[in-house]
Amino acid sequence: MPRQKLPIGIQTFREIREDNCYYVDKTRLILQLVQEGKYYFLSRPRRFGKSLLIDTLAELFAGSRALFEGLYCSDLWDWSRQFTVIRISFTEGVLGGATGLDQRLREILASEQRRLGIVCINQSLAGILSELIESAHAQSGQRVVVLIDEYDKPILDYITQSDQARAIRDVLRNVYGVLKGCDAHIKFAMLTGVSKFSKVSLFSGLNNLRDITVSKDYSALCGYTDADVDRVFAAELEGFDRDEIKRWYNGYNWTGTAVYNPFDLLLLFREREFGPYWFETGTPGFLIDMLAQRQVWLPRLGHMEADMDLLGTFEVDAISVEALMFQAGYLTIDSVKRSFEKTSYRLRYPNHEVYQSLSNCLLRTWTNSTLIDQPMIKNRRMLGHLLLANDFAGMQFLFTAFFASIPHQWFTNNPIAQYEGYYASVFYSYFAALGLDITAEDSSNAGRLDMAVRFNGHVYLFEFKVVELDQNGRALAQIKSQGYADKYLAGTDPIHLIGVEFSTVKRSVVGFEVETLPIPNLTKPDKTKQEKPHVH
């Protein structure tokens, strides 16, 4: 199969089709949308193809038949009917708060009027949009298609300024409420965005909007499935370990088929090396700040649970960690549980990229990266080598020196450093930033171990304790008394019990006790290849 142009950053369906770019055909799911309903809402993280989906819908309803030749819908769509499409997009964001939003909306609606040859006489934003929809219907004789892309971006741009965010939300609520009143004039409507604000706050009048965010039938509406990658990008896969591609980038799931973020794969195929391409396009600072302010125990992030109401609701003044992490793409759905007429979701990191990159980001944020960033990178690499050698004394020295390198004034100026989970979270992040196989809060019938690490044919069991001043040996004692190692004894890997104690007074590691259990008298297979940590 010949190689084609990689559509990096291209969100225009026409350009992709006319410039011989790779295109993953989503028209089967698009036809299903049109056949099943009329009003839709879809939330997906940034750079997931939402704008391309909206543009594809626009070209389909406009009857651009030549662009769809060879695609699933080409012989199934009624090309004899063309519909007027009204589009509103906030992909570029809005400056100036609610006033800037009012001006930007007027500019968008004025542009749509010029394009369609319609002059509206109403003055309010809601009145102009309503008149535009009704006039377009009368002009063409066909009901109108309304497509709104990144509907929530004006709010998210001001999410840390509550008053401005609420004012912007109120402007948008008045505009979006028009859709229900114009029902007789609308053929199809779809809104896309990153976050799902509750119907009470933003869609109070649009109660017939179907949210397909966690619909298993549309889990793959945006993004690439494994089958898509193998079929469409076969020419790009040469030289890559296919399993490694999957480990790094696959795993986003909305209760159906798991997908890859398109931006990640397109950059991978261009650069020909693995990297955190999606993550580096912009992690919101307020997310990191929230995790710090709420004293989130980092290992728990990859094992959260949330019910449907909590996961699907985003409010200006009441943002849950679970909802924010899920909607922003840092957590995804692992499994669904239904009990007592309630649906809940178990969440996890989607893939290696997010897991490792988020750990790196939080580690830098929580340890004053502006002063110790380069030493931190060196220390991470050193940790990998110490693990390979099982040099526990070296590990103790490494972490003691690391905490000692954080300036005293940083501790006193950052409340996060005052809570117990901070030290354990930083310790955990060091291992996670290496991309190691970690199980946090590993459960057994004896309780929960803080952290288990499998690496290079060894098992490392960690228990953390915070003490006022000096070590007292309780961390290692708990591992032994609770029998945390019992579940690993059936294997043949050496097991190391490690109790780590932190002092809030000395702000450092004050205890690092290790006990290695005897290897069971079993025949152990030879290891022909030594495993190495993923160090970046």
Q: Which two tokens stand for residue 99?
A: 């006033």
Q: Is the pLDDT of residue 439 over 60?
A: yes
Asked if 313 and 377 sit in the same domain, the reply is: no
Asked if 30 and 151 sit in the same domain, the reply is: yes
What is residue 508's predicted lDDT score, i.e. its pLDDT?
Answer: 80
Give me the number of domains the chain comprises: 3
Give CA–CA dist 66/44, Å, rounded.
29
Least confident range from 147-161, 168-182, 522-536: namely 522-536
Q: Is the pLDDT of residue 500 over 50?
A: yes
- To the nearest 10°, report the CA torsion of 363, 366, 369, 373: -30
Q: Has residue 156 been placed in a domain?
A: yes
Asked if 297 and 206 sit in the same domain, the reply is: no
What is residue 160's predicted lDDT score, i.e. its pLDDT?
Answer: 80
pLDDT tens digit string along 393-405? 999 988 888 777 7
Asked if 191 and 78 sit in the same domain, the reply is: yes
What string of H, E and C letters represents the secondary structure of 202-231?
CCCCCCCCEECCCCHHHCCCCCECHHHHHH
Q: Has residue 407 been placed in a domain?
A: yes
What is residue 374's predicted lDDT score, i.e. its pLDDT?
Answer: 53
Q: Has residue 192 been placed in a domain?
A: yes
pLDDT tens digit string along 263-306? 999 999 999 999 999 998 876 667 777 776 676 666 677 778 88
Q: H-type helices in 390-498, by residue range?
A: 392-404, 408-413, 421-433, 474-481
Q: Is the pLDDT of residue 498 over 90?
A: yes
Q: Which two tokens stand for residue 159?
A: 């999410």
Domain stop point among 300, 320, 348 = 348
What is residue 79's predicted lDDT score, i.e. its pLDDT?
Answer: 97
pLDDT range class, residue 378, cuts 50, 70, 90: low
pLDDT tens digit string along 14-39? 999 999 999 999 999 999 999 999 99
pLDDT tens digit string along 445-494? 656 888 899 999 999 999 988 887 776 788 899 999 999 998 888 888 99
Question: Which CATH number does the domain housing residue 390 bear?
Answer: 3.40.1350
Q: Has residue 228 been placed in a domain?
A: no
Asked if 194 and 48 sit in the same domain, the reply is: yes
Asked if 334 and 410 sit in the same domain, the reply is: no
CB 487 within 8 A of CB 452: no
CB 152 within 8 A of CB 194: yes
What is residue 360's predicted lDDT score, i.e. its pLDDT?
Answer: 81
CB 167 within 8 A of CB 97: yes
Measured over the CA atoms of residue 304, residue 310, residue 314 and residue 320, the dihedral's sign is negative
Asked if 378 and 452 sit in the same domain, the reply is: yes
Give CA–CA dist 402/382, Å, rounded.
12
Helices 421-433 and 352-366 cross at an angle (nearest 10°) of 130
Q: Is the pLDDT of residue 429 over 90?
A: no
Three-class SS state of 501: strand
Instruction: Tell me the one-letter amino acid at 182.
Output: C
Least confident range from 266-270, 300-304, 352-356, 432-436: namely 300-304
Give CA–CA dist 327/32, Å, rounded.
24
Give CA–CA dist 333/350, Å, rounded.
8
Residue among 210, 204, 202, 190 nearest 88 (CA): 190
What is residue 377's predicted lDDT score, i.e. its pLDDT?
Answer: 60
Asked if 287 and 406 sit in the same domain, the reply is: no
Instruction: Count CA within 13 A, CB hemisphere, residue 112.
Output: 26
Domain stop point among 348, 378, 405 = 348
pLDDT tens digit string along 213-255? 999 999 999 999 999 999 999 999 999 999 999 999 999 999 9
Domain of 70, in residue numbers: 25-218
Asked if 106 and 187 sit in the same domain, the reply is: yes
What is residue 420's predicted lDDT score, i.e. its pLDDT?
Answer: 57
Q: Has residue 259 been placed in a domain?
A: no
pLDDT tens digit string along 43-94? 999 999 999 999 999 999 999 999 999 999 999 999 999 999 999 999 887 8
User: Average of pLDDT values for 386-394?
Assistant: 93
Q: Has residue 226 been placed in a domain?
A: no
Domain stop point among 218, 243, 267 = 218
Residue among 433, 438, 298 nearest 369 (CA): 433
Mean pLDDT of the chain: 85
Asked if 382 and 496 sit in the same domain, the reply is: yes
Instruction: Count CA within 13 A, CB hemisphere, residue 257.
Output: 15
Q: Has residue 507 been placed in a domain?
A: yes
Asked if 49 and 167 sit in the same domain, the reply is: yes
Residue among 448, 437, 445, 416 nearest 297 (CA): 416
Angle (nearest 5°) at CA 289 between 378 and 366: 25
What is residue 509's predicted lDDT score, i.e. its pLDDT?
Answer: 86
What string of H, E and C letters represents the secondary structure of 230-299?
HHHCHHHCCCCCHHHHHHHHEEECCCCCCEECHHHHHHHHHHCCCCCCCHHHCCCHHHHHHHHHCCCCHH
Cα Rg of the chain, angstroms: 27
Asked if 382 and 452 sit in the same domain, the reply is: yes
pLDDT tens digit string along 92-106? 878 889 999 999 999
pTM (2 d.p.): 0.85
What is residue 528's predicted lDDT score, i.e. its pLDDT?
Answer: 43
Percent of the chain residues topping a pLDDT of 90: 52
Q: Has residue 497 been placed in a domain?
A: yes
- Cross-sheet strand order for the sheet of 495-503: 437-444, 447-455, 458-467, 495-503, 508-516
What is residue 413's predicted lDDT score, i.e. its pLDDT?
Answer: 55
